[in-house]
Chains A and B, each alone.
Chain A
Amino acid sequence: MLKDITLGQYFPGDTPVHRLDPRTKLVLTLVYIVAIFLIGSWGGYALTAAALAAVTALAHIRPRALFRGLKPLVFIILFTAVLNLFFTPGEDYLFHWRFISVTYTGLKRAVAMVLRVMLLVSGTFLLTYTTSPLAITDGLERLLSPLKKLHVPVYELSLMMCIALRFIPTLIEETDRIMSAQKARGADLETGTLPERARALLPLLIPLFISSFRRADELALAMECRCYNGGQGRTRMKQLHMAGRDIAAFGCGALFVAAILILRRLGI
């Protein structure tokens, strides 16, 4: 059943990583992503992997959870690897047969590419594993708040995200319910040709749309009744506070980037 899908990849916990201000984690994730593209040596990959492992351990996240996150990306990873492997021009052939050729440069590039994607994805997963969706939204809103001066509706955008997160489980439940109801009327969603199956989805999609609109309507009314009036003049119950550990985390981040750059320079 759809209900069984676990959504929101957040693993609640009370570790130093969990306790960091979401803004710190968002900025450091960004720094980490940039750093990955600055890696210019095998030592850099090793260091990044070590850093990732250290944070994972600190957050009490099982490595298995990180690998599980990579699973849906296996195809993309393999695809980039193959692309790099076969289509990198060069003279240092490892293998050459008719128009298929594999060069040493190509092999290196393929391996580097796979490592990059894996490190990148695992790193961002670590963010969502240790930060609740609400905290991420909150952090983003505050990081982007300078954009308010440019008339970007930052608050409205973050509220939209928050409401979307809130309604995902409700809509999944609803989908389940409507699916059962239509199956009870003999709907056949599993067999038939592709166009037939697409048509068979209408009895599911139309009620789902109608009910989403109805929900949106009712929610808007309820929000107005609770004095919702846009982002202006709004206060927040929960204030974010940067603590000592956030400063320390930024320090570690800076050291990490410096190390990557040094390794790149030295070519280790």
Chain B
Amino acid sequence: MDPVIRIENISYAYPDAERPALDGVSLDILPGTFTAVLGSNGSGKSTLAKHLNAILTPAAGRVLVDGLDTADEQNLLPIRRRVGMVFQNPDNQIVANVVEDDVAFAPENLGVEPGEIRRRVDNALRQVGMYDFRLHAPHLLSGGQKQRVAIAGVLAMDPAVLVLDEPTAMLDPRGRREVVAAVEQLCRERGITVVLITHHMDEAVRADRIVVMDRGRIALEGAPRDIFSQGQALRALGLDVPDTAALIARLNAAGLDIDPGALTPEACAAAIKEALG
């Protein structure tokens, strides 16, 4: 399968920075997959995200979205339409003071005809479970609801890839659950490619693949089962493992044989019960 985003050995440095924010990163994102990007503050994960839809362009190397080079100005709109981006602060990405008008913003910019915009807006709001709130004022919604509106606003562009840059950092546990569930569902049921940047380990366990960034480079990469069984390496990178992984590691060290891929609390409990027979 051809990757939907191909990152070829990119480097990038912010002006006046001591060291590059990205230093030779290569990565392929396959269509329909769920990738989580982990890393401590300043590891370059947000900078990487900003390269995926040409907010930043690499100083060296290149990024191709569906074969389109992000460095080419001509490709800007087609790339942004294909790769939707959701940011950390839900308040600062909502433009209009009625939910449905906000979701309509992107397709209106794209010059979609009115009937089709209506259809896309309703669809996008249903997909994130916010249809009943379409006439509400955004500032009266909870953080998780606002963030789901922001996701709907991006979905209305009909993108192939959804990039989320720490979308849950400012949310309470309930909001986090809502957003992660919505994102996971979009990937599994609608086939949307998801790239989730986060520093909540328990969100990353739901991904197909985890990329761990450190000082501008990819430090670790693999399936959650492989990444989270390397507790020491992760802690050295300023990260942690979810409680499920820590528990499995402990039990297996004591001689049980539990699948290290059982990383959601539900899967973990089921695997333990089975192991105890």
Q: CB < 8 Å: which of B55, B108, B153, B157 contacts A237? A: B108
The distance from the CB of A128 to the nearest CB of chain B, in whole angstroms, is: 15
Say whether A166 contacts B95, CB under 8 Å. yes
The listed residue (B85, B91, B108) touching A236 by CB distance below 8 A is: B108
Contact at A219–B92, with CB atoms within 8 Å? yes
Cβ contact within 8 Å between B118 and A229: no
A133 at the interface (CB under 8 A from B): yes
Residue of A nearest to B138 (CB): A166
Q: A194 at interface (Cβ–Cβ under 8 A)?
A: no
Asked if B180 CB lies within 8 Å of chain A CBs, one says: no
CB atoms of A219 and B97 under 8 A apart? no
A sample of 26 inter-chain contacts (CB < 8 A) reads: A134-B101, A162-B96, A162-B97, A165-B97, A169-B137, A214-B92, A215-B89, A215-B92, A218-B89, A222-B87, A224-B55, A225-B55, A225-B85, A226-B106, A226-B109, A227-B77, A227-B80, A227-B81, A227-B109, A229-B77, A234-B108, A234-B111, A235-B111, A235-B112, A235-B114, A237-B121
| Interface class of chain B by DSSP | helix
From B84, B98, B121, contact of A134 by CB (8 A): B98
A79 interfacial contact with B, CB 8 Å: no
The residues of B that contact A224 with a CB separation of less than 8 Å are: 55, 80
Asked whether B94 is an interface residue with its Cβ less than 8 Å from the other chain, the reply is yes
Determine which of A134, A162, A218 lies in contact with B92 in the assembled complex, contact meaning CB atoms within 8 Å: A218
11 new A-B contacts, CB < 8 A, other than A224-B55, A235-B112, A237-B107, are A134-B96, A159-B95, A166-B94, A169-B139, A170-B91, A218-B89, A218-B92, A226-B157, A227-B77, A235-B108, A236-B104
Question: Is the beta-carbon distance between A222 and B92 smaller than 8 angstroms?
Answer: yes
Asked if B97 and A233 sit within 8 Å, CB to CB, the answer is no
Q: Within the complex, which residue of B53, B94, B108, B114 is in contact with A225, where a contact is CB–CB below 8 Å?
A: B53
- B186 within 8 Å of A (CB atoms): no
- A145 shortest CB reach to chain B, Å: 15
Residues of A within 8 A of B (CB): 133-134, 159, 162-163, 165-166, 169-170, 173, 214-215, 218-219, 221-229, 233-239
Nearest Cβ in chain B — how far from A212, in angstroms? 11
Which A residues are CB-close (under 8 A) to B92?
214-215, 218-219, 222
Cβ contacts under 8 Å, A233 to chain B: 111
* Chain A CB within 10 A, most for which of B93, B100, B104: B93
A239 partner residues in chain B, CB cutoff 8 A:
114
Is residue B63 within 8 Å, beta carbon to beta carbon, of the partner chain? no
What's the interface size class on B, roughly?
Answer: 35 or more
- In the bound assembly, the distance between CA atoms of A215 and B138 in angstroms comes to 16
**Residue among B53, B77, B117, B139 with most chain A CB within 10 A:** B139
Q: How far is the CB of B115 from chain A (nearest CB, A)?
A: 9
- In the complex, are the beta carbons of A226 and B105 less than 8 A apart? yes
Instruction: Check if B132 is an interface residue, CB within 8 A of chain A.
Output: no
Which residues does chain A contribute within 8 Å of B105, judged by CB atoms? 223, 226, 228
Let me know if B80 and A134 touch, CB within 8 A. Answer: no
B256 at the interface (CB under 8 A from A): no
Contact of A236 with B95 in the complex, beta carbons under 8 Å? no
Min distance, Cβ A170 to any Cβ of chain B, angstroms = 5
Interface residues of B in 47-68 (CB under 8 A from A): 53, 55
Question: What separation, in Å, do the CA atoms of A134 and B84 have in the docked complex?
Answer: 26
The verdict on A215 contacting B157 (CB below 8 Å), with A226-B105, A235-B108 known, is no
Q: How far is the CB of A131 from chain B (nearest CB, A)?
A: 14
Contact check, B139 vs A218: say whether CB atoms are below 8 A apart. no
Interface of chain B residues 112 through 142 with chain A (CB within 8 A):
112-114, 117-118, 121, 137-139
- Chain B residues closer than 8 Å to A237, beta-carbon distance: 100-101, 104, 107-108, 114, 117-118, 121
Instruction: Determine the chain B residues whose CB is within 8 A of the CB of A215 once the complex forms.
Output: 89, 91-92
Q: Please, which residues of chain A bring their CB within 8 A of the CB of B262? A: none
Contact of B84 among A214, A218, A225 (CB under 8 A): A225
- Which of B93, B95, B114, B150 has a CB less than 8 Å from the CB of A162? B95
Bound CA span A214–B92, Å:
9
B251 part of interface (Cβ distance < 8 Å): no
The distance from the CB of A223 to the nearest CB of chain B, in whole angstroms, is: 6
Within 8 A of A (CB), among B228-245: none
Q: Which residue of A lies closest to B53 (CB)?
A: A225
The complex places the Cα of A228 from the Cα of B55 at a distance, in Å, of: 13
- The 6 A-B pairs at the shortest CB distance, nearest first, are namely A222-B93, A218-B92, A226-B106, A237-B104, A237-B117, A166-B97
> Closest residue of chain A to B105, judged by CB?
A226
